[in-house]
Structure 1
Amino acid sequence: MLMNSADRPATLRYEPNGFTMMTRGKFVLCAVSGEMIPLESLRYWSVEHQEAYASPELATKRLLGL
């Protein structure tokens, strides 16, 4: 069975002012919670860790090592 891009996560390269899609998809997974984040809702990520976060609280938690 073939999967379309809506069925799988995108692979992104996170940059300081945005991101570049490396592999097509409609969402990414939060590095802390595992929650699916639709690309149109993605607002928080780490360039250093190359990770996405579902909320500012989860980003802070990851970056502080909590």
Structure 2
Amino acid sequence: MNRIELPRAFGEARIQYLDGDYKVLSQGSYVRCAVTGLQIPIDELKYWNVEFQEAYVDASASLERHRQRQR
């Protein structure tokens, strides 16, 4: 069975963010951006912070969170 044939899980996933990878703790089809609250489909997840265990919808959101933490 390949990725296309796998049944899709619905709802929000729980993820453990690792360096350059992540581990799915609880199946779901998306995670939420820590800055915008937008849903990020799991297969489009590219930006996260390992230390704070947060996902970001794009590089701008990641930079915004970094700036917030610098204040």
Q: Compute the displacement of 1:23 (Å).
A: 0.3
The answer for unaligned runs of 5 or more in structure 2 is: 1-7
Identify the match of residue 29 of structure 2 among 17, 26, 29. 26
Distance 1:29 1:61 in 2: 15
| 1:7-22 mapped onto 2 (5 Å cutoff) | 8-22=11-25
State the Cα deviation string for residues 1-53 of structure 1 (Å, max 9, x = none): xxx831x1000000011100000001000000000000110000000110000
Q: State the number of aligned residues.
A: 62
> 2:59 is aligned with what amino acid?
P
Q: Which one has the largest radius of gyration?
A: 2
Q: Compute the displacement of 1:64 (Å).
A: 1.6
Counterpart for residue 37 of structure 1: 40
Counterpart for residue 5 of structure 1: 9
> 1:23 is aligned with what amino acid?
S
The answer for unaligned runs of 5 or more in structure 1 is: none
> 1:60 is aligned with what amino acid?
L
Q: Compute the displacement of 1:63 (Å).
A: 1.3
> 1:37 is aligned with what amino acid?
I
